[in-house]
């Protein structure tokens, strides 16, 4: 049985009109962010209006998937316990995408004690339900 066909018990993102294109792209294993068509600034999370110039003109661009680690915590006490007991310890992080915006995510593919500031990362996609694919980041060992 694949991961996607098992019952997924953890909280899932709630899609809204602004975030739906992001999650649709994740389902295709693409990481997409919004760029303002007036001032060129990229932003995440997606919003209808540019926080820099208030323009409503936007386009979705595909990010490179490369990032560096900005900040993180190691979760060792599962809350709720029955949902996360098998996952601890795990890393919750804020990463800086190559395009300059920051994204909350999980770090996978390395032990929590091996996580270091500014470590190079690359995106991976986890299909957790037929509708939802979660982007996570792993060390980019080149």
Query: Which residue of 39, 83, 85, 92 would you call a contact of Zn ion, by CB under 5 A?
Result: 39
Pick the closer one to Zn ion by CB: 39 or 92.
39
Pick the closer one to Zn ion by CB: 53 or 61.
53
Assess contact for 13 and 19: CB atoms under 8 A. Answer: yes
55 contacts Zn ion (rule: CB under 5 A)? yes
**Residue-wise over 49-67: b if at least 16 C-beta within 10 A, else e?**
ebeeeeeeebeeeebebbb
52 contacts Zn ion (rule: CB under 5 A)? yes
58 contacts Zn ion (rule: CB under 5 A)? no
**Least distance between Zn ion and beta carbon 115 (Å):** 34
121 contacts Zn ion (rule: CB under 5 A)? no
CA distances to 32, 36, 40, 60, 85 from 44, rounded to whole Å, are: 9, 11, 13, 11, 30
CB atoms within 10 A of CB 99: 17
List contacts with Zn ion (CB under 5 A).
36, 38-39, 50, 52-53, 55
């Amino acid at each position: 049985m694949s991961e996607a066909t098992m019952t997924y018990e953890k909280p899932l993102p709630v899609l809204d009109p602004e975030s739906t294109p992001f999650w649709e792209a994740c389902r295709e294993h693409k990481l997409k962010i919004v760029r303002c068509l007036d001032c060129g600034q990229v932003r995440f999370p997606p919003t209808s209006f540019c926080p820099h110039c208030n323009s409503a003109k936007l386009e979705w661009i595909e990010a490179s998937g490369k990032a560096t680690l900005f900040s993180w915590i190691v979760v060792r006490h599962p809350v709720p316990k029955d949902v996360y007991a098998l996952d601890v310890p795990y890393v919750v992080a804020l990463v800086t995408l190559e395009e300059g915006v920051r994204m909350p995510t999980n770090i996978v593919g390395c032990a929590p004690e091996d996580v270091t500031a500014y470590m190079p990362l690359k995106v991976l996609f986890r299909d957790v339900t037929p509708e939802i694919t979660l982007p996570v980041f792993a060390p980019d060992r080149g």
